[in-house]
Structure 1
Amino acid sequence: MRKLFSLLLVSIMGGALTLGSYLLFIEEEPVYVEDKGSIPAYTPVNFEAVPGSAMADFTEAADKSVHAVVHVKNITETRSPFSSRAGTALQGTGSGVIISPDGYIVTNNHVIQNASKLQVTLNNNENYMAQVIGSDPTTDIALLKIEAEDLDYLPFGNSNNARIGEWVLAVGNPFNLTSTVTAGIISAKSRDLGMDSNVSSFIQTDAAINPGNSGGALVNVHGELIGINTAITSQTGSYVGYAFAVPSNNARKIVEDILEFGDVQQGILGIRGSQVSRLPAEIEVNTTEGVYVAEVEQGSGADKGGIREGDIINQIDNVEIRKFSDLKGYIGSKRPNDVVQVKVLRDGEEKTLRVKLTKYEVYQIKAIGLEVTNASSEDLARNKVKNGVKITRGLTPQMQSERLTGTLITAIDNIPVEDIDDVKEVMARRNSSDPISVTFVAPNGEKQKYVWR
């Protein structure tokens, strides 16, 4: 009996060692790769689970979704250097979501980028040529329009109400073989993928999403659109369990901005900061969650609303702020002049402050590798100048190393500039092959002129 027990123990230990070795040497960390591939108000949708079952019934949500998801074909015109005849080439394909019965469609910007023509195929195989109404590369969202009526569409849901562990469907039309549905759960919210994006707060799901599903729908069991599928994490470029969607609140806001203003209206608090968990050891705080305010921009909504350096933001409009992506994601769903209630922790006490968001306006002067924004009256007074725009960041490693953030530009090619519209006009008129001169005024009031050749 003892011998049998010893043999059993050795077998168990051997199996455990084998499994441990497999986990140690075979599994690898995934590498992020981007998947290339009149709006109705919120609409309540009745839903009932299967009677007597704890499992959600996806059939109703799937039926609503498949007819509202389309195939998007990006076609570019080509011209041979040896012939005057023009041809066409398939640039790429993806998916899109019909969001209104008269043919408005949301997709990813990278699906339609550089397109000469866009062809949309519905789930019933009808084809339409689509027009780009507007797009925003920084959020990877684009709005298309086809001339059709009485189309099936998906109503926007409230992505703030989405919960981790909630069942969702990923619906796409990647191969123009009619829509495909996969199921999974919401794995996480407010994921920051480190992308150069104004969203930086993605919904993560384990529903299977593969290349070609970009621009497709992430749908809850009520048949509501809660996200636009955008990216996957994979070493091979195919699905391995990690997929990400732009939250519907952000996508909806971008669509409405494009329709109403022609471009995206981005509201900002007017702070610079870091999430508490990433603070250096010398900054002592009594909490492990929230956003630490390192700097408040003068004249911003945060400044006028009473937010101070050293405050820790832990809630906005009853939405918990645990990390910076929570804050950026929620503010990204708001517009300039919207008022938000910001709860901060200050000297151990909680305060609720009313903050009116200001408009984020920047322009990238790519010829010199700098991004600028409009200077406030306080910026001008501090530098003792009457006009100028303020540098927000360097766009190249060289310009980042110059540490010019906060410096004012008062003239380009000896032409005074008062705001970013002046900068745009000067840059549009000049010959790109000519040298460009820029007059800087440093925070200490020192004036210098540089010439790029």
Structure 2
Amino acid sequence: MANRLTLIVLLLSCLMPAQTASANLPVTVPDQGPLPTLAPMLEKINPAVVNIATYSTEVNRYNPLLNDPFFRRFFNIPDEQFQQFQQPERKQQSAGSGVILSAADGIVVTNYHVIRGSDEVQVSLIDGRSFAAEIVGSDPELDIATLKIRADGLSEIKVADSSRLRVGDFVVAIGNPFGLGQTVTTGIVSALGRSGLGIEGYENFIQTDASINPGNSGGALVNLRGELVGINTAIIAPAGGNIGIGFAIPANMVNASVRQLLAYGEVKRGDIGIAVQDITPELSEAFGLKNGQRGVLITQVDKHSPAAEAGITPGDIVTHINGVKTVSSTRFRSLISMTPIGDMLRLSLLRHSETLEIGVRVIAREDLSYSGKSLHPLLEGAQFGNNPQGGVVVTGLKPDSPAAFNGIRPDDIIVGANRVTVYDIETLQRALSRDRSSVLLKIIRDNVSLFLVIR
């Protein structure tokens, strides 16, 4: 009897590795058919993943005294050598990856940080061809840029509904890590809805353990059907390399951004006119939430906004938007940002322990905020709104605008202007009207108070 038990245990131990392997991929005996492989899927979609190189031109810096011919003669600097100082220098700025979304139109999507500050963008295909790319538009808040190339014989990737992803789904990352050339890595979806990382303005990341390294930015994250589920964008890398924590922008968010960039050349995000905050354990207890109930707390409702017209009030708790849980204020902002202007949102609310369903129409953010140009010429390019805790917050900022050049940053909170305390937009307007040639702002940035002089 003991010998039979020993034999059974040995047989089970021999079978365990096969059971473990079958949980990952189906195992096929070589002489009974082909081994499982991703090669057919990759052969189909690899041509749609491209390498991106960007170039910028810089003028060599030199002492302005060299402009004086007498100074050059005094130090025996030939004119030919001075002319070399003035020649612009072309430098490669960065290398990354991209994905062809439309073969017919030559539309390529990548990360904004890949092409930021570049004068020239080159897109290289897996077949060795290379093309100059036109930057159609960019969305810095989502870290997305759309390019266009003129080429025949392109391949494209089908875009999946990323809202159907589940933790544990197999995914494949394709890109150009460290400039090595196209590289494929595999893994699973480790988590969904990651936010609060401070990487981008709108965060709702897919987390994956598929290896993502520098150069993978802008590359494809696909499912096993070869459908695009995300654009690889960032990693957590304490030691400078991959440790199995990578992040991708969901395909649904990418699609919403690309559609607007193609239509308008910029992204026009919507709003409903409310401010929210995360619910702490103390707030959860104070509002009588049941154990495990999640949501975001509405702290302010703007007058004449869609939210006010729909009857939403401060103190309401938003638990779902269109059936999707709102587990954080960052997730809440991301869900609204994906909604086209003019569409209706269905908000599930808790009010005094009562569940409500309210429909709210999304309008353009510009219709709810104040333009910096209307407040002061030196603030052109910024959008401002009232801050729930007092002051005026920068709700939007166009890159390379006068406001950005003058040192304004997104999420800055203006609490003073021209030595006048700022409580809201109205007090800011009155303070700025005192001087049209310069502005003295008192700003809170990252919980630090500072003064900013703009002339």
- Give the TM-score taking structure 2 as reference length: 0.71
Give the superposition deviation at 1:190: 1.3
- 2:43 maps to what in 1? 63
**2:394 touches 2:412 (CA, 8 Å); kept in 1?**
no
Corresponding letter in the other structure for 2:59 = R
Residues 132 and 452 (structure 1 numbering): CA distance in 2 closer, same or farther, change over 3 Å?
closer
The gaps in structure 2 that reach 5 residues or longer are: 1-24, 30-34, 63-81, 396-407, 442-451
Give the superposition deviation at 1:415: 9.8
Give the superposition deviation at 1:411: 6.5
**1:159 touches 1:247 (CA, 8 Å); kept in 2?**
yes
Bigger RCO (CA 8 Å, 6+ sep)? 1
* Structure with the higher helix share, 1 or 2: 2
Instruction: Pick one of 42, 55, 62 that aligns with 1:75.
Output: 55
- 1:202 maps to what in 2? 205
**1:173 touches 1:212 (CA, 8 Å); kept in 2?**
yes
Instruction: Pick one of 153, 157, 178 that aligns with 1:154.
Output: 157
Residues 177 and 122 (structure 1 numbering): CA distance in 2 closer, same or farther, change over 3 Å?
farther
Give the superposition deviation at 1:94: 0.5
Alignment of 1:178-197 (within 5 A): 178-195=181-198, 197=200
- Give the TM-score taking structure 1 as reference length: 0.72
CA distance in 1, matches of 2:453, 2:100: 50
Instruction: Pick one of 98, 101, 109 that aligns with 1:99.
Output: 101
Give the superposition deviation at 1:348: 1.6
Give the superposition deviation at 1:193: 3.7
The CA deviation string for residues 22-68 of structure 1, in whole angstroms up to 9 with x for no partner, is xxxxxxxxxxxxxxxxxxxxxxxxxxx85989x98533432333211
Bigger drift between 301-310 and 318-327 goes to: 318-327
Residues 451 and 177 (structure 1 numbering): CA distance in 2 closer, same or farther, change over 3 Å?
closer
- 2:425 maps to what in 1? 407
Give the superposition deviation at 1:292: 1.4
Alignment of 1:46-445 (within 5 A): 58-80=38-60, 81=62, 82=82, 83=84, 84-101=86-103, 102-195=105-198, 197-277=200-280, 280=283, 283-287=286-290, 288-361=293-366, 363=371, 372-373=383-384, 391-393=392-394, 400=414, 402=416, 404=422, 406-408=424-426, 409-410=428-429, 414=433, 434-436=437-439
CA distance in 1, matches of 2:281, 2:176: 40
Larger radius of gyration: 2
- Classify the secondary structure of the residue corresponding to 1:331: helix
Corresponding letter in the other structure for 2:195 = D
- Classify the secondary structure of the residue corresponding to 2:240: coil
The CA deviation string for residues 60-83 of structure 1, in whole angstroms up to 9 with x for no partner, is 432333211111101111333442
Give the superposition deviation at 1:240: 0.8
Give the superposition deviation at 1:329: 2.3
**1:277 touches 1:289 (CA, 8 Å); kept in 2?**
no
CA distance in 1, matches of 2:169, 2:193: 15
Structure 1 vs Structure 2 CA RMSD:
3.3
Residues 112 and 410 (structure 1 numbering): CA distance in 2 closer, same or farther, change over 3 Å?
same
Give the superposition deviation at 1:263: 1.0
CA distance in 2, matches of 1:260, 1:405: 38
